[in-house]
Amino acid sequence: MKWKINFLLLIFASKVAFSFSESDSTKIKYSLGISPSAVLNLVPAIQLSHELTFTKVLSLGVETGFIFSHSNINNENTRGYRIRPELKCTVLRRNDFSIDLFAFYNYRYYKATRLVELNKANFAYTEEIRGDRNTTLKGSGLGIDFGFTNVDNFIKKINVGFGMGLGNITNIYSDEVFEPQFIFFSGFSTSGSTEIPIAFFNVSLYFL
């Protein structure tokens, strides 16, 4: 599966290289927006959307997010960041509507506090101990964006898209007692490095 994704990325990169050779540096445009859908992620974040447009068919998007929580309530005080550069190629443009294909690289890191209750003295009492979880996700893949421009006077453009790929998630715990046991999708939280699929849905509102 991984070689297929790498092959598609190579074809996509060739197309982008050809488009970039026709670019005019004096016409580069920068756009800034927010991604409200990032708050609904399993690892929610306050996320900004950046886009550099080089030509009518070539642009570079970058998603940058501050991670402030986690859907798993056992991961307390979760803090981290996410960055996802996207190399985009416009394959269709009709009036105020466009379709972009893109290749992306995803990097995510967060640190969380774990709480575990341990039975002591033959279950005479319970002791609460705290430790750390450090998680890193790296991966790449392909995606598609549907763009809607000239929405109103404030929102210049709306991008609705999704992407899929493969990556590796690495979890490091301060002690093995903090590693979750018998949970669904346990590979996402297992200590060490695990290969997992990457999938995301994203909505970006550009106002600049």
State pLDDT tens for residues 45-69: 999 999 999 998 999 999 999 999 8
* Segments forming the whole domain that contains residue 117: 2-206
pLDDT for residue 145 is more than 80: yes
Q: Please tell me the total count of domains within the chain.
A: 1
Question: 131 forms bridges with which residues in the sheet?
Answer: 114
Angstrom CA distances, 152 to 17, 94, 155, stand at: 34, 18, 5
CATH code of the domain in which 11 resides: 2.40.160
Closest CA to 100 of 48, 157, 166: 157
pTM over 0.85: no
pLDDT at 182: 58
Q: Are 103 and 140 in contact, with CB atoms under 8 Å apart?
A: yes
Helix, coil or strand: residue 96? coil
Paired residues of 59 in beta bridges: 53, 88
The C-alpha atoms of residue 86 and residue 80 are separated, in whole angstroms, by 20
Q: How many helices (H) and strands (E) does the chain have?
A: 1, 8
Structure tokens at 179: 């590693």
